[in-house]
């Protein structure tokens, strides 16, 4: 997976995790646990992308140069 | 967050544990140069583990804190995504190329051109829209002017500090009053405005110095006096009487003043001091942001006039003012709130967070993201009708927007969930209480400034810093017998200074300036500025404290 794919997946999983946590907090606690796991896996992809992602230029990168 | 009774949170072990997530975050960002999207989540996990293992935080509380943090992030991401869309629309139309070519018509003096954006437009956006809007909007404009993205983001962060406390109709002050019964409101307002006046002078001096060093300072001293007086004295005069107008009125006056500045002899021609090469990408007016458009221009593409190119920004100002008026004057519109409800949660140390029907409701009429979205749509319509953007390019434009928005989005989610976990577990309280307990009474007002800075660093918001630490500062002032005026004033101003290093703001700027991943480099610049501003503010507030006593 590329770094961008990691981050897109992170965004998707954290969003799903948020919805599950909210539902779980309001209605059924076990769903909150599930949501927290999904959210954590999603967020973990951020730092994991540093080590596991194939290096590539992301979308639009370099549009403004380095510094 | 409330604490029902004193707990074991206030001892050195808990204090050390509580600062671990912040130290980890700083080390990863500043020392090891991880990107914000990588460091933010690590900070969250460290805070969550410490909360579960040492701060008796149930998983249920951790979950609710996480969800609230995510919702806080949505609030900011609405600005990030729309600001990036606006940037792409403007860039696609070649506006930056036009902007670079024609800015000289406004004034040949580059220092004035530079301050018009890095200070005056930044502070107008902060006073009206706030919530990071000026950084997201102006950083790319400075890049278009030719400034390196690293400096463009850092300078926008330093330039926007003054407008934080009383911007958006003094929302930070209003929030403080919701959580604290303020005993000395006039002193709070006066002392915070005084510190912000010092802050804005320091901001202007920094901007001018970065622009052209000592020569620029010699050239620009009159601008320091003019804008220092408009912003600093203006706010100082208005804040104790009508705090809601203490940022917007001086910011609007300054917007008028900048158009008059080129009529002053020395600023009607190119200055003696020129911009330093170190901060330029490729010469003045040669920002790489415009290269794409430049290439396209070479392929016989039509370019808009400067006025047409600026339609989205003019629209942004109008939408922001309209939004502000509508939400203030039309009650049903002001009360509109989208959001999620959450139950009450607690920890084993009695850190209680009450249930909320709608947590941190998002008002689509009053949210800056809506103003930016409308300006982007307005720009798109004007530019496609004028033939400056081809409809066929829309898909690419949207794809670039999404691609650039994802890294800062993950970072901001990490930072804001981290902030809520620290808050809900009592770690934030432990940090601030520890600082307050070891500080002598005479120096507590000085410490208050740094607690305010810390709050803004943790939460990326002056308002949230006041909500988080206002009660603690007030309690500490009362127990030390020093009155809450200068202490809460220091908190409010500190919260504003801390916005220059707020990780979410930094990620927002790097995202829109196209240097996602270089948050540590930005922080290395703004951390120094904030530390110096904090020390200046601390000295000033202690002197004021001695006078008040």
pLDDT at B2 over 50: yes
Q: How far is CA B251 from CA B46, B125, B157, B286, B307, in A?
A: 41, 9, 16, 29, 22
User: What sections of B439-549 are H helices per DSSP?
Assistant: 441-459, 462-480, 485-497, 503-513, 519-548
CB proximity A67 to B under 8 Å = yes
Mutate to test the interface with B, among A64, A65, A66, A67 (most CBs of B within 10 A): A64
User: What sections of B358-393 are H helices per DSSP?
Assistant: 368-385
CB contact under 8 Å between B288 and A64, yes or no, is: yes
**B87 SS3 class:** helix
pLDDT in tens, B450-472: 999 998 998 888 988 888 788 78
CB proximity A24 to B under 8 Å = yes
CB contact under 8 Å between A14 and B151, yes or no, is: no
Task: Tell me what pLDDT residue B227 has.
Answer: 97
- pLDDT higher for B155 or B435? B155
Task: Tell me what pLDDT residue B290 has.
Answer: 44
Using CB atoms, which residue from B38, B406, B417 is nearest to A4? B406
Give per-residue burial for B254-266: e unless 16+ CB within 10 Å, then b.
bbebbeebbeeee
Task: Using the Cα atoms of residue B86, residue B88, residue B89 and residue B95 in order, give the sign of their dihedral.
Answer: positive
Task: Tell me what pLDDT residue B129 has.
Answer: 75
Q: Would you tell me how many other CB atoms lie within 10 Å of the CB of residue B394?
A: 14
CB-CB contact of A33 with B63 (8 Å): yes
**Which chain B residues are Cβ-neighbours of A2 within 8 angstroms?**
none
**Which chain A residues are Cβ-neighbours of B148 within 8 angstroms?**
65-67
Residues B113, B344: Cα–Cα separation, whole Å: 51
pLDDT at B292 over 70: no
* B445 conformational bin, left if phi > 0, alpha if psi -120 to 50, beta if neither: alpha
CB contact under 8 Å between A67 and B281, yes or no, is: yes
pLDDT in tens, B50-88: 999 999 999 999 999 999 999 989 988 888 899 889 888
pLDDT at B270 over 50: yes
Highest mean pLDDT among B75-84, B197-206, B248-257, B384-393: B197-206
- Rg of chain B over Cα atoms, rounded to whole angstroms, equals 23
Q: Please report the DSSP string for B292-348 in residue order.
A: HHHHHHHTT-----HHHHTHHHHHHHHHHHHHHHHHHHSHHHHT--EEEEE--B--T
Using CB atoms, which residue from B91, B341, B413 is nearest to A43? B413
CA-based nearest residue to B37, from B50, B25, B49, B51:
B25
- Say how many residues make up chain B: 549
CB contact under 8 Å between B148 and A67, yes or no, is: yes
pLDDT in tens, B171-186: 889 888 877 889 999 9
- Say how many residues make up chain A: 67
CB-CB contact of B515 with B503 (8 Å): no
The tally of CA atoms less than 13 A away on the side-chain side of residue B42 is 19
Give the residue from chain A lying closest to B407, CA to CA: A7
pLDDT at B166 over 50: yes
Residues B460, B209: Cα–Cα separation, whole Å: 26
**Which chain A residues are Cβ-neighbours of B402 within 8 angstroms?**
59
Using CB atoms, which residue from A4, A26, A65 is nearest to B343? A26
Q: What is the mean pLDDT of chain B?
A: 88
pLDDT tier for residue A66 given thresholds of 50, 70 and 90:
very low
CA-based nearest residue to B403, from A44, A54, A56, A65:
A56
The ipTM of this complex is 0.87
């Amino acid at each position: 997976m590329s770094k961008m794919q990691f981050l897109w997946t992170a965004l998707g999983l954290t969003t799903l995790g948020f919805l599950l946590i909210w539902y779980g907090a309001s209605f059924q606690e076990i769903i909150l646990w599930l949501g927290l796991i999904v959210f954590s896996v999603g967020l973990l992809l951020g730092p994991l992308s540093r080590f596991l992602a194939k290096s590539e230029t992301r979308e639009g990168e370099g549009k403004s140069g380095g510094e | 967050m409330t604490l029902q009774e004193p707990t074991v949170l206030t001892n050195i072990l808990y204090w050390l544990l509580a600062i671990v997530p912040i130290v980890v975050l700083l080390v990863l960002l500043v020392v090891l140069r991880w990107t914000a999207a990588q460091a933010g989540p690590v900070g969250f996990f460290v805070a969550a583990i410490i909360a579960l293992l040492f701060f008796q935080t149930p998983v249920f509380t951790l979950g609710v804190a996480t969800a609230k943090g995510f919702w806080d992030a949505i609030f900011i991401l609405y600005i990030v995504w729309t600001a990036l869309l606006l940037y792409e629309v403007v860039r696609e139309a070649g506006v930056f190329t036009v902007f670079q070519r024609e800015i000289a018509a406004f004034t040949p003096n580059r220092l004035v051109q530079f301050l018009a954006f890095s200070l005056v437009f930044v502070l107008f956006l902060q006073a009206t829209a706030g919530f990071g809007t000026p950084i997201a909007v102006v950083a790319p404009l400075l890049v278009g002017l030719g400034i390196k993205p690293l400096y463009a983001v850092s300078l926008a962060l330093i330039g926007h500090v003054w407008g934080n406390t009383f911007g958006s109709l003094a929302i930070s002050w209003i929030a403080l009053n919701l959580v604290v019964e303020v005993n000395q409101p006039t002193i709070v307002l006066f002392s915070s405005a005084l510190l912000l006046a010092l802050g804005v002078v320091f901001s202007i001096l920094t901007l001018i110095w970065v622009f052209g060093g000592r020569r620029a300072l010699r050239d620009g001293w009159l601008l320091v006096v003019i804008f220092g007086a408009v912003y600093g004295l203006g706010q100082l005069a208005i804040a104790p009487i009508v705090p809601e107008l203490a940022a917007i009125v001086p910011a609007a006056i300054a917007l008028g003043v900048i158009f008059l500045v080129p009529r002053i002899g020395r600023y009607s021609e190119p200055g003696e001091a020129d911009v330093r090469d170190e901060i330029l990408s490729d010469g003045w007016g040669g920002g790489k942001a415009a290269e794409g458009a430049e290439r396209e221009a070479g392929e016989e593409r039509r370019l808009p006039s400067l006025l047409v190119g600026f339609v989205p920004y003019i629209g942004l100002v109008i939408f922001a003012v309209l939004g502000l008026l509508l939400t203030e004057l039309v009650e049903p519109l002001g009360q509109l709130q989208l959001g999620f409800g959450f139950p009450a949660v607690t920890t084993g140390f009695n850190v209680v967070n009450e249930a909320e029907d709608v947590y941190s409701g998002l008002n689509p009429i009053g949210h800056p993201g809506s103003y930016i979205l409308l300006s982007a749509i307005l720009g798109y319509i004007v530019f496609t009708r004028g033939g400056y953007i081809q409809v066929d390019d829309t898909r690419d434009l949207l794809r670039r927007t999404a691609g650039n928005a994802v890294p800062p989005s993950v970072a901001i989610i990490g930072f804001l969930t981290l902030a809520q976990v620290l808050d809900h577990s009592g770690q934030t309280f432990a940090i601030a209480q520890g600082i307050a307990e070891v500080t002598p009474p005479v120096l507590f007002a000085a410490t208050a400034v740094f607690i305010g800075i810390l709050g803004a660093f943790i939460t990326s918001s002056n308002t949230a810093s006041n909500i988080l630490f206002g009660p603690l500062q007030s309690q500490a002032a009362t127990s030390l017998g020093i009155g809450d005026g200068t202490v809460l004033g220091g908190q409010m101003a500190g919260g504003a200074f801390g916005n220059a290093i707020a990780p979410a703001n930094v990620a927002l700027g790097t995202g829109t300036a196209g240097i996602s991943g270089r948050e540590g480099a930005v922080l290395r610049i703004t951390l120094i500025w904030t530390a110096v501003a904090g020390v200046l503010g601390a000295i000033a507030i202690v002197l004021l404290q001695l006078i008040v006593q």
